[in-house]
Amino acid sequence: MRRATALVALSLAWLCAQGSLLDSVQVVAWARMFTGYAATMDWSEALTRTFDPARPCAMCLAVREARTDAARNAPAPTPERDNVKVVLALQVVDQPLTPPGVLAPLAPVTLVPANWVPRVPTPPPRGSLV
């Protein structure tokens, strides 16, 4: 239950931060309008009246007002943030490490350490017939 509550709270915070909360409210308003119209008329007429800009519901008007307020109160972009140029430092080597036509010497590949000494083989056991 605690994880579900945290997930819902995080999702709601993400919607608010992205500005999608007004879109969600607008979808709810359209759904309510459509179900109200569809109860008394056919679907095509209900759909036409739902998306008719001349007949907004109270929720649609509230969303429109909230969007204009958000656009009016949006912070102006700062000029120094718009003209920021990020320079990535990358050293490019123009010359190869070895002259052309000469192969680079390969390091010797050894799988056995240099100080390894093989053990002296033990003689096989002698049978009792000798």
> Does the residue 27 lie in any domain?
yes
State which amino acid sits at residue 115.
N
**pLDDT value of residue 57:** 92
> Does the residue 108 lie in any domain?
no
**pLDDT value of residue 63:** 93
> Does the residue 37 lie in any domain?
yes
> Does the residue 41 lie in any domain?
yes
- Quote the Cα angle for 105-118-120, to 5°: 160
**pLDDT value of residue 118:** 76
**pLDDT value of residue 20:** 83
Domain span at 28: 19-73
**pLDDT value of residue 114:** 75
Chain-centre distance for alpha carbon 95: 39
Spatial separation of the C-alpha atoms in residues 53 and 43, rounded to whole Å: 18
> Does the residue 10 lie in any domain?
no
> Does the residue 40 lie in any domain?
yes
> Does the residue 111 lie in any domain?
no
**pLDDT value of residue 5:** 95
> Does the residue 78 lie in any domain?
no
**pLDDT value of residue 30:** 94
- When divided into structural domains, the chain yields a total of 1
- DSSP assignment string, the chain: -HHHHHHHHHHHHHHHHHT-HHHHHHHHHHHHHHHHHHTTS-HHHHHHHHT-TTS--HHHHHHHHHHHHHHHTPPPPPHHHHT-----------S-SS-TT-PPPPPPP-SS-TT--PPPPPPPPPPTT-
pTM to 2 decimal places: 0.50
User: Which residues of the chain fall short of a pLDDT of 70?
Assistant: 77-83, 93-100, 102-110, 128-130
- DSSP assignment string, 103-114: PPPPPPP-SS-T
